[in-house]
Amino acid sequence: MAELVSNRYALALFEAGLDLEKTDEFNEELDFLNDVFEGENKLLQILHHPKISRSEKRDLIDKIFKNRVSQEIVNFLYILIDKRREGFILEIIDRYKELFNEHENIVEVVAITAVPMEEKAKTKLQKVLSNKLEKKIQLVNKVDTTIIGGVLLKLQNKQLDGTVKGQLESIGKAINGATN
């Protein structure tokens, strides 16, 4: 049910954004909302709490978000509260991002490396991936010291393992397979 609800509301918001020519603005504002909700976990608990009235929840939304996001996004949050869908906010934001990226021909790529990538390397990787996939690339670099070296790319539910650790594991599997 969560997927159905998040898809329905995200699609409605995205279509409103298209009609109003505000998909970019909504995307940025939803990024802001996501950061706030993930940074303040108690806020989601308060919004989802059944003993807190709808009017109190609306007042809270006003105090936190009014004048920080568009009235359309505030109204959207009111609708979620009125329909008791506030527990799906993060999933709705995620789904909206997917719709936005599809519309804008953007692919999000996570590059996991042992040390932070230099800007020059990030730019080069973005360009290579953009040419290969024929899409705009939004690259995020995450550091994982267990990688040893190389890069692990995560994109579109796929993983491309070009790490030293991955290569060593492959060699280990090949050796174990040959001795069995």
Structural domains counted in the chain: 2
Residues 58 and 131 both lie in one domain: no
User: In angstroms, what CA-CA distances link 46 with 2, 86, 92?
Assistant: 19, 10, 18
Intra-chain end-to-end CA distance of the chain, in Å: 46
Residues 117 and 167 both lie in one domain: yes
User: Where a domain ends, among 82, 102, 122?
Assistant: 102
User: Where a domain ends, among 81, 102, 123?
Assistant: 102
**Which tokens sit at 135?**
């899409």
With 0-12 CB in 10 A as exposed, 13-18 as middle and 19+ as buried, what is 145? Answer: exposed
Residues 97 and 130 both lie in one domain: no
State the CATH number of the domain containing residue 90.
1.10.520.20
pLDDT tens readout for residues 19-55: 999 999 999 999 999 999 999 889 999 998 999 999 9
Residues 88 and 154 both lie in one domain: no
Domain encompassing residue 114: 106-177
Burial 47-75 (b: 16+ CB within 10 A, else e): bbeeeeeeeebeebbeeebeeebbebbbe
User: Where a domain ends, among 102, 133, 158?
Assistant: 102
pTM over 0.85: no
**Would you say 93 and 30 are in contact if contact means Cβ atoms under 8 Å apart?**
yes
Q: At what angle do helices 89-104 and 2-20 cross, to 10 degrees?
A: 50
Q: Kindly tell me if the per-residue pLDDT of 82 is higher than 90.
A: yes
pLDDT, averaged across the chain: 90
State the CATH number of the domain containing residue 155.
3.40.30
179 pLDDT band, cuts 50/70/90, is low
Q: How far apart are CA 126 and CA 144, in angstroms?
A: 20
Residues 69 and 90 both lie in one domain: yes
Q: How far apart are CA 125 and CA 127, in angstroms?
A: 5
